[in-house]
A and B are shown apart, each in its own frame.
Chain A
Amino acid sequence: MARIVIPAALRNLCGGSQELDVPAATVDELLRAVDARCPGFYARVVEDGRLRPELAFAVDGEIAPLALHDALGPAAEVTIVPALGGG
C-alpha cells in the first residue's frame, strides 16, 4: 500500500483528507487510484499525459525523475511538490 500526502490545495477534492493509502505499483497507478476516490484529482496533476510542468513528485523524500512512471515500493510515500529551480 502506497501513501500519498494530499497537497493543501487539493484536499477539498478528498473530503479534507491529508493522506490516503492506496494500492499502486507506479506513481501513475497511485494517481488514478486516488482519482477514483477523489474525482478530478488526476486532471489537476496530469496534463496531456504528463505531469504538469509546475509540479514534481517526491517518492520517499527524493524527487522522482521518471515522474508518472516511477515505481513504488510496498510502503512508498509520495508527495506532490512545486517544481523548483536554483540560482
Chain B
Amino acid sequence: MRNLVAEVLKKPIAQVKVVPMEIGGGFGGKLPIYLDPVAALLSKKSGRPVKIVMSRTEVFEATGPTSGTVIRVKAAAKGDRLTAVRASLFYEAGAFPGSSVGAGSMTMLAPYDVENFELHAYDVVVNKPKTAAYRAPGAPAAAFAIESVIDELARHQKVDPLVFRKVNSARKGTKMVNGIAFPRIGHEECVEAALNSDHYRSPIEGPYRGRGVASGYWFNGGMQSSVVVAVNTDGTVNLVEGSTDIGGTRASLAMQLAETLGIPYEDIRPSVVDTDSIGHNDVTGGSRTTFATGMAVYEAGMAVRREMIARAAKLWGLPEDDVEYADGVVRSKKDGRQFTFKEIAAQSARTGGPITGKASLVARGVGGAYGTHIVDVEVDPETGKVTILRYTAVQDVGTAIHPSYVEGQIQGGVVQGIGWALNEEYVFDDEGRMVNSSFLDYRMPTALDVPMIDTILVEVPNPGHPYGVRGVGEVPIVPPLAAIANAIYDATGHRFTELPMSPRRIVEALNGLA
C-alpha cells in the first residue's frame, strides 16, 4: 500500500507511512488502494488528519468484484484414467485488462496428472467496473467447471468420484500446466482422508437429497518479509513484525518463535508496527504470511539462539562450539553447566548488551495447498431452497501451527463458497451499473443457512519451510461451488452449469421453466 500511494502521489516512499489497523479479513478486495491517496492529499491541503469512509454501497460498486466467467471444458477418460482435457476460459477484467484468468487456468488441472491438455485463456475487457482479487482469485470458477466435468466423467465410467480423483491425482514430480514440477504435495492424502471419513462412509438417503465432492488447489506466495526479535531482561521476547494481521497471523508467528526459542508462547509479545518501524513487508495476501513471515521469524529466532550461545560461552570461557542450545536452555557440552533462557536474558547487560535477532528475506520453498470437500444437500423442488445438511472440508495444511485458527480459515472459506454456489451475485443493468449494492439485495449466507462445517486437517509438511508450513487461507473457497453442484445433481438429476444455483434457477430448472 505504501508503494502504491507513493506512486500515485509522486512522492518518495519515505514520505508515506502506513499504520496497519486490525481488520477481520482481507479477501483480496483490500489489496488495491482506493481512497487512500485522496485522504492523503486532503490532509496535506488542510493540515489536519483526514478520514474517509466508504459506504457499503460504495464498497460494492467501487472496490472491484471478482470476474464473471464463461468456461468450456471437454475431458476424456479411458477406464478410470483421465486422459485429456481441453478448456477455454473467458474471464471478465472490467474496464482495464488484468483478470485472474491466468491463475484460473494454472489451478484448474492442478489436482490431476493428465498427460494431454489444451487450455485457452482470455482476458475480456468490458465496460464495467475493474475486477479485483477475491480469495484464490480465478480458482473457484475454474474448479467449478472442471470438477463438474470430472463428476460427470466418473459417473459415466462408473467409478466412485473420490476414487477417480485418487487414481488421477497429481503427486510430487507431476508437472503443472505451466511446466513446473510439483514439490511434495498432499492432494492424494486429502482424497484418501475424504474416502475414509465418517461423512463419506455414512449413507445419504431420502428424496431430493444428494452428496457431492470436489477438489481444489491454490498457490502459496513467498515474497518479502522482515521481523525483529528483542529479548527483554525478564526473559520475555518482543516480536516486531509488519505483516498486517487479517486472520490470526500474529498468534501463529508468535507460536513459531516460541517453538524456535523453546520458550512458552505466553512469553512472546508480538506487535504489528507501521512501515517506518520495520523493514519492507510485502502484502498480507496470497496465503503467504504464516509461511513467509514465519520463515523470517524462524531465522530471527535462530539468530537469537546463536547470540545466546555466544553469551554463555563468554561467561563460561568456552569456545562457542562447546556450547549448545536446545529447548530454551544453553548447555556446555563439556561439563553440562547450563543457563535457562531467562537466566541468559537477565545477564545481557554484562555479557554484551541487549540480545536481538532480525531477518529480512525473500521466502523460497513455497508449497501449495489442496482441499477436497464433501457436502450433503436437500433440495426443495417447490421453493428451490437448497439446504446444506452436512459439510466436511478436508485440507492439506502442511503443519497446523494454530489448529483452531486453521480450522477457522477453512470454515470461513467454505461459507464464502456456499454463498457463491447458492446465492451471491452482482446484478448489473444494461449499462453496466450494479443494481443490488446492499446486503438487502446481495444475499450472503448467514448462520441460519449453514451447518457446522466439519474439518479434517491433513498434514503433509511443506519441505521448503522449517516447520512445514503451507498457507491455508485461500484454498477452502475453491471446491465448494462444484461440490454443491455435484450434490444437487445427485439429489435432482439436473446438472447446473450456471451460478448461483439460486431458488429461482432451481425452480425453473426442475419445472422446465428455464
Contact = CB atoms under 8 A, between A and B. Distances in A.
Given A61-B180, A65-B362, A79-B179, A84 B31 contact: no
B102 A84 contact: yes
Nearest to B183: A61
Contacts of B134: 87
B31 A85 contact: yes
Nearest to A61: B180
B180 A85 contact: no
Interface string A8-23: 0000000000000000
Q: How many residues of A sit at the interface, in one of the four size bands?
A: 10 to 19
Nearest to A19: B179
A71 interface: no
Most buried by A among B27, B179, B364: B179
Interface stretch (B9-17, B280-288, B344-352, B380-388): B280-288
A49 interface: no
Nearest to A53: B98
Most buried by A among B98, B102, B106, B287: B102
B135 A87 contact: yes
What DSSP secondary structure best describes chain B's contact surface? loop
Q: How many residues of B sit at the interface, in one of the four size bands?
A: 20 to 34
What DSSP secondary structure best describes chain A's contact surface? loop
Most buried by A among B106, B178, B181: B178
A63 interface: yes
B285 A86 contact: yes
Interface in B318-373: 362, 364-366
Interface string A48-87: 0000001000100111010000000000000101111111
A46 interface: no
Contact of B103 (A7, A62, A63, A84): A84
A5 interface: yes
A46 to B, nearest CB: 19
Given A58-B180, A61-B183, A79-B178, A85 B133 contact: yes
Interface in B279-317: 285-288
The 5 lowest CB-CB distance pairs between A and B, nearest first, are A86-B286, A87-B28, A82-B102, A5-B179, A87-B135
Given A62-B366, A87-B135, 4 more contacts: A5-B179, A84-B106, A86-B219, A87-B136
Interface of B: 26-29, 31, 98, 102-103, 106, 133-137, 178-181, 183, 218-219, 221-222, 285-288, 362, 364-366, 474
16 contacts: A5-B178, A7-B178, A58-B180, A62-B365, A62-B366, A63-B222, A81-B106, A82-B178, A84-B103, A86-B133, A86-B218, A86-B219, A86-B288, A87-B26, A87-B31, A87-B137
